[in-house]
Structure 1
Amino acid sequence: MKQIICAAVLAVCTFGVQAQEKKFHFGAKAGAQSTTITGDEEDVSARIGAHVGVFGEYMINDKFSIQPELVFSMQGADSDVEENVFGENYKGEWVKLNYLNLPVLVKYHFSGVKGLSVGVGPQVGFLLSAKQKYTTSVEGVTTEHEDDVKDNLKSIDFGLTAGAEYELPVHVFFGIRAYQGFMNINDIDNDKAYNSVFQLSAGYRF
């Protein structure tokens, strides 16, 4: 995984060096997001997280561009699970998943509305860490737990991302984006679990 990450960083940096020659733009972005886990997981709800990253955009022509990104993303879901097993009460709190995501978008720039663009493309995610918080209660004694569950999940996620951006004349832009994972990230049983993310971003394009 380290080799893939280094290659991605090198690619972005190489594009940046060639910016003047190839109509390439480099930038950074950050924002808030609502994330959850879909699939067979029923007792979950959305969790608020954040993301921050860098990108490079190569203009193919006036209407189309390709934009690879490198983004740190705080994902996961809040848990609503409550059950009693052999006299022990279990209550789920949350699952926190930190990913390093590499989306590559093909973007269309509207000529009639300067600064407005839409994009769609694949995204690969590398799981950096995974923690789960829950409480157990036996005979009135409540105990909080926070476990490392990275070994229970697949190290790679894959899906499709799409969204829209509007850039001001001062090169500041605002974006909205949705991601849906296609790969089952559960690695311990047959239950299916997929990452789902809705993002709001702001950034600057050099």
Structure 2
Amino acid sequence: MKLKAILLCVLVAAGASMASAQKAGLKGGVNFTNLYIGDVDDVDDENMKVGFNAGLYYRADINEGFAIQPEFLFTQKGTEVQYDGLFGGSGRYRFNLNYLEVPVLAVGKVGNFNIHAGPYLGFLVGAKVKDVDDNGNINDVENLDRDDFNTLDTGVAAGFGLDFDTGTIGLRYSYGFQEIGKGEDAGQATEDSKNSALQLFVGFDF
């Protein structure tokens, strides 16, 4: 599954490079992320984590109504999980996961409006779990770090946007296929969950 996703991203990006570039620029925005188990409908909005996304995009027109858009992004994902301690203490675990992510999107255009969807490939560059107790004290969970999580994430993304003369603005949802926890501790802590993210973004052409 991972190899197929990588090959698909490479082939589609190569096809885009042979078309005429119409848009290229910088983009960034806000992430509203969570982790899901089994069915994505199980996501609990109360555990949502806010982060950011930033990077580059390149849009190549295939024809007037269709384009391919690869992107290279730094994106923050994760969640917050509530807990109740054995002796009355309570708090939450905050999972902070940072990825370099490459979505390759098919873009359908009607005037200035666009709908886009396609696969993404993500590489985990940093992971930190923090314990925030009921008094607001923040402590690192030392036994969990990047080595305890899967470094590769694959999934699909879909959304819509509005193009303007100097850039674009839009909303996108991404749905991960890979369980984020690799080791026994991380797997139990995350309950074998996967990434889920809603992105609000704005881009400006070079």
Do the two structures share a fold, i.e. TM-score over 0.5? yes
Q: CA RMSD in A?
A: 3.0
Q: Is 2:141 aligned against 1:160?
A: no
Structure 1 unaligned spans of 5+: none
Structure number with the higher helix fraction is 2
Q: Give 1:124's aligned amino acid.
A: L
Aligned mates of 1:203, 1:142 — CA distance in 2: 36
Count of residue pairs the alignment pairs up = 184
Q: CA deviation at 1:59?
A: 0.4
Aligned twin of 2:175: 180
Aligned mates of 1:26, 1:101 — CA distance in 2: 17
Label 1:162 to 1:91 Cα distance change in 2 as closer, same or farther (>3 A).
same
Aligned mates of 1:25, 1:103 — CA distance in 2: 16
Asked if the contact 1:88/1:136 (under 8 Å) is kept, the reply is no
Q: CA deviation at 1:79?
A: 1.9
Deviation digits for residues 125-175 of structure 1 (CA, Å, limit 9, x no counterpart)? 1001111111579xxx9974213521221000111100111012x223111
Asked if the contact 2:56/2:72 (under 8 Å) is kept, the reply is yes
Aligned twin of 2:119: 122
Structure 2 unaligned spans of 5+: 1-5
Aligned mates of 2:82, 2:114 — CA distance in 1: 38
Q: Give 2:139's aligned amino acid.
A: H
Label 1:33 to 1:142 Cα distance change in 2 as closer, same or farther (>3 A).
closer
Q: Is 2:48 aligned against 1:46?
A: yes
SS of match in other structure, 2:183: coil
Task: Identify which of 135, 139, 150 aligns with 1:145.
Answer: 139
Asked if the contact 1:176/1:201 (under 8 Å) is kept, the reply is yes
Aligned mates of 1:142, 1:161 — CA distance in 2: 35
Task: Identify which of 28, 31, 40 aligns with 1:30.
Answer: 28
Q: CA deviation at 1:89?
A: 3.9
Aligned mates of 1:115, 1:197 — CA distance in 2: 25
Deviation digits for residues 45-101 of structure 1 (CA, Å, limit 9, x no counterpart)? 0011111010111100001111110000011111212231xx484632311111110
SS of match in other structure, 1:60: strand
Q: CA deviation at 1:123?
A: 0.5
Label 1:65 to 1:80 Cα distance change in 2 as closer, same or farther (>3 A).
same
SS of match in other structure, 1:151: helix
Aligned twin of 2:65: 63
SS of match in other structure, 1:118: strand
Aligned twin of 1:133: 130
SS of match in other structure, 2:178: coil
Of all paired residues, the percent bearing the same amino acid is 27
Q: CA deviation at 1:196?
A: 0.4
- Rg comparison, structure with higher value: 1
Aligned twin of 2:108: 108
